[in-house]
Amino acid sequence: MWHFAQIGIDIAILEIGLGGRLDAVNAFEPDCSIVTSIDIDHQEFLAIRAKVSVLKKAGIYRPSVPAICGDGDPPQSLITYAQRIGADFKCINHEFGFELSGSGWHYLANGTIVHALPLPALQGSYQLMNASCAVAAVSLCKLICLSPRGQLPKPCYR
């Protein structure tokens, strides 16, 4: 991160590994956090129960920061955690989503088409869910960084 700060990058996207709230990336405060899906695919490796796994993933959410969820039917414990800490919880198929359209897809915000986009290069239905989460994050972070006059301050850090 020191190197990125020295060269003056505009944005850094950091992926948290298996540890969720215990991951070293949590040393940095995010402008937005995304839990793309709620799976227990690493449960045997982490030796944890499903509910504990959800809470570990939820540990990346922060108070007053957009908390995006790419699971259309997230566990109640994830929603409750986000509400309890005061995160700005946004969930796919609720506040944002997507629909296929011919050779591309539409990003939706509150049921309204906002962007017409080409299909992701990687195939699989989950790729559109992940892409929707990414567009939601960019949209929400853009709103955070805009000044009252609609101009992007330089640099846009918190």
Query: Could you tell me the pLDDT band of residue 31, with boundaries at 50, 70 and 90?
Result: confident
User: Average pLDDT for residues 7-15, to the nearest whole number?
Assistant: 79
Q: What percent of the chain is predicted at pLDDT more than 90?
A: 42
Element (H, E) at 96: strand 96-101
Which pair of tokens denotes residue 69?
């969820």
Q: How far apart are CA 124 and CA 130, in angstroms?
A: 10
Confidence of residue 144 (pLDDT cuts 50, 70, 90): low
The mean pLDDT value for 42-59 works out to 62
Gyration radius of the chain over CA positions: 16
pLDDT at 39: 60
CA angle, corner 87, sides to 95 and 140, nearest 5?
A: 50
pLDDT score for 70 = 93
Which residues, 6+ apart, have CB-to-CB distance to 114 below 8 Å? 106, 107, 108, 139
106, pLDDT greater than 90: yes
Largest CA distance in the chain: 51
